Structure 1
């Protein structure tokens, strides 16, 4: 008997509808935001164009670290209580239980928008408008690279060496080693923090 590809997350049809998202939606929502912030940063003329570009690419790089931290410490947070199990299921457990559910492979706007507001505010108040905005614009594009990569490795046949490698890296995280492979768009921080996924789970000793 084949395993179901999806499940309900909420009894409410309204909440259930918001738990599902078309894979193009984050790009439609966030590319205009990032583009406008870059345009505004350049048009203020308080930084050279190369300075804006440099901060933008630093923001892309910063996302790779945020992706790793969020995936490792937030999405995989667990607490063995009814509420703890429910929170984990809503945040990420549903994806591990139903990894090929095409409506839940990118981040719903109900989660990405508040998260984006928090990150924007953090960069604005710690870096200031001039530096924080182009940095945040790059951060957004880094996030979109993550969402796009995540959807692609689950639903598209990978034909390039990089694509095949990223798919294998992520599938090991799903099917062999939940304690490794937290980078999806890049394995960089798995290498740095020694959490590359292993082909077989570690067997308990004794």
Structure 2
């Protein structure tokens, strides 16, 4: 590995696996924006490259129906008994999401990195946005990546509701296999 100040990134080649070689110079390099309509590829593989590009309007088209489905299900399952409780839940969700988004952006996406893999990962998730702020196809996180990051929220039931159930972190599969799926509030009400 090169990992020194003499390494230069070749913008004519896929860029993600090059930036790690910048070592300590990465942080300064990534914060010198390039205002250009010609943006380099992330990956040589066309499929992986496709997964990194998303138009901004795809985010509301994908996530508004998903959010509506979750809100509808929580109401139908009895998790929110009254309309005012539903509104409070939605407003609380928006508040929590914006706070999480702020914390991630400030502390994770802007951390200083020096190692090959940390530079590479940082560049892929946020550094590119600083290097090429005008790239319209990489202004938002692609839905597949966002979905992968949102799955572990299932595990919060284990911590905040029923600590003897919901041991799966990214999947409920093994909770179904071992019979440790947390019950819904509606099912709990029926039992009481």
TM-score, L = length of structure 1:
0.56
1:14 is the counterpart of 2:47 = yes
Verify the 8 A CA contact 1:78 1:84 in the aligned structure 2: no
Q: Quick one: distance in 1 between partners of 2:35 and 2:94?
A: 37
2:61 — aligned with what?
Answer: 28
For structure 2, the residue ranges without an aligned partner over 5 or more in a row are: 1-33, 162-183, 187-192
Q: Is the 8 A contact 1:41 1:130 kept in 2?
A: no
- Measure how far apart 1:127 and its partner are: 4.3
- Computing the radius of gyration from Cα coordinates, the structure with the larger value is 2
**Matched residue, 2:95:** 61
What is the alpha-carbon root mean square deviation over aligned residues?
Answer: 2.2
Q: State whether structure 2 residue 72 is matched by structure 1 residue 39.
A: yes
State whether residues 26 and 109 of structure 1, in contact with CA within 8 Å, keep that contact through their aligned partners in structure 2: yes
| CA distance, structure 1, for counterparts of residue 134 and residue 185 of structure 2 | 41
Alpha-carbon distance between aligned partners in 2 of 1:22 and 1:9, rounded to the nearest angstrom = 16
Task: State yes or no: 1:4 paired with 2:28.
Answer: no
1:113–1:23 CA distance, 2 compared to 1 (3 A): same
Cα distance in structure 2, aligned partners of 1:3 and 1:39: 43
Structure with bigger helix share is 1
1:69-116 CA-partner distances (Å, limit 9, x unpaired): 110222123321222221111111111000010000111123200122
Q: What runs of 5+ residues in structure 1 fail to find an aligned partner?
A: 132-206
Using the TM superposition, name which of 43-52 and 11-20 deviates more. Answer: 43-52
With over 3 angstroms needed to count, the CA separation of the structure-2 counterparts of 1:34 and 1:69, relative to structure 1, is same
